[in-house]
Amino acid sequence: MACHPNDAVKVNHPDPMKENYDNYLLIDAGSNMVNKKFSRDLESVLQRAKDSGVQKIIVPCTSLKTSKEALRLARIYPGALYSTAGIHPHEAKSWEDNYYDELKNIAKNPECVAIGICGLDYNKDFSTPDMQRKVFELQISLAIEMKKPIMVNQKGAHEDFLCIIKSHMPSLLPVILHSFTGSFEEASQYIDLGMYIGISGGLCKDSSGSGLKQLLSTRILTLDRILIQSDSPFMYPNARAANLTDTVKSSLTQRSLGFLQRYCTFHRNEPCSLPILVELLAAFINKKPEEVALATSYNALKIFGMS
């Protein structure tokens, strides 16, 4: 057979931004889309999230105002954004008598899939501990009444937090520790009570030896108890962190790094950083990223009742 110069074999070079596109099915269980850093280009942020594999995003709220705004966004982007309704412990001092009914009216909507973010934070003195405990208890009661999961935050208040949570067991539906950065000892007790742990870019910062990495290495925290959260615009997952081993860094794909490096910074993280977080988590627990993505997405669908 004659060979002609123009009959050269065509070699298809994969686009690193499209590599493994179909491999990851991702749900961001906590991204602050109502933050003012996203006000100018939310549409582009959501498109990049979708391009990276993020199918759905839970928008956690910290005040009555953000709870209303998140519900508005969830209606604009049905099936992509979902809201919560809650008052963060920092905002507990703002609680008024009508807030319970206001939050309840928000939570009645199908787009609202959880109560929170609520809880206790004694590390910062934005609201008194007494007021924080009162508002936390009220929101737990609301979660029970509405039969919704609850997204919580705890810093420097472990004993009080645990006491309040235990007093409402087993009526309390799934509890999610939002963007957890606490200790091994705290998390172990939460996991024993059936809580879910939200993992964000804080995984890259953990150099304590007694936090998330220890939970993962000892297999105390297993995939069936994990949700992944970008917690954007915060919690940038620093893939170049000095405390990450070369083995972990070498497991990261060019596609995922591309989204992280092109669109995310320490000043503004985005949901499209989620593929990197999945790959980091997979490397820590010696699993395939596809398995981590599927398991954490299944957890989110189950907890929040999404289709």
Binding-site positions read: 178, 231
- The answer to whether the CB of 127 falls within 8 A of the CB of 91 is yes
User: What end-to-end distance do the CA atoms of the chain give, in Å?
Assistant: 57
What's the longest Cα–Cα distance across the chain? 88
Residue corresponding to tokens 């609520």: 118
Annotated binding site for a divalent metal cation: 178, 231
Half-sphere exposure of 248 (CA within 13 A, CB side): 20
